[in-house]
Amino acid sequence: MSYSFMLLLEKLSPAERAVFILKESFELDYAELAETLDYNEANCRQLYHRAKEKMANPKKRFAFDKNQHQHLLEAFTKASETGDIDEFIQLLKEDIVVYSDGGGKVSAALHPLFGKAVVEKFMRGLARKSFPYFFFKSLIINSSMAFLIFNRDSKNLESVLIIENDEMNISNLYFVRNPNKLAHLKRTSL
């Protein structure tokens, strides 16, 4: 399951999420949904309809090929080691979006950042202020390129950066900083 799909699921109400997952994954009909969830069939139909509308995502997602994966890895590694992020910035789509999740426990952007100019300014600030204090480890998470971000001094996992792309460029960046969502990675990452 991609991170963007999980993010979309969070936009659903608990009832919409339950109906959507049970119908899509287990192919329950509306009578079975009504019985399982203690709703009437008409309510299940409406919840499923609303969930489908919210889940509609016009952006097509593409998996990395080896060359693209290597190019992105090299561009981000260069940026993280030298602070020179020009090559990485060139990989951003004009309509890129950055999402940040601190879970209310650590600092994070409260709203998504939209557009290459805004994201470039944000990334240049990170490179200048933060990159010297962190080291990075690359991996694949849910078929997307990702980087574990560790504090150089404490060696603690601070964030995960998940990078999604289309055929040629980076379309979304997800900074996961919520400690609850990082807990399972802390045990296996170093």
pLDDT in tens, 31-72: 999 999 888 999 899 889 888 887 775 444 555 566 777 778
What is each CA distance from 34 to 21, 38, 41, 102, in whole angstroms? 14, 5, 5, 36
- Contact yes or no for 137/189 (Cβ under 8 A): yes
pTM for this prediction: 0.67
Task: Name residue 96's beta-bridge partners.
Answer: none
Nearest partner of 13 among 53, 40, 58, judged by Cα: 53
Q: What is the dihedral of CA 109, 114, 118, 124, to 10 degrees?
A: 60
At a CB cut-off of 8 Å and minimum separation 6, what does 4 contact? 57, 61, 164, 172, 174
Q: What is the mean pLDDT of residues 164-181?
A: 86
Highest-pLDDT range among 22-36, 73-87, 175-189 = 22-36
In the predicted model, is pLDDT for residue 153 greater than 90? yes
Q: What's the pLDDT at 65?
A: 64
Delineate the domains of the chain, giving CATH numbers in brackets.
Answer: 3-55 (1.10.10), 66-186 (3.10.450.50)
**Sole residue written with tokens 């090929």:** 65
The residue count of the chain comes to 190
Percent over 90 (pLDDT), the chain = 25
Q: What is the mean pLDDT of the chain?
A: 83
Between residues 11 and 104, the one the model is more confident about: 104
Between residues 93 and 11, the one the model is more confident about: 93
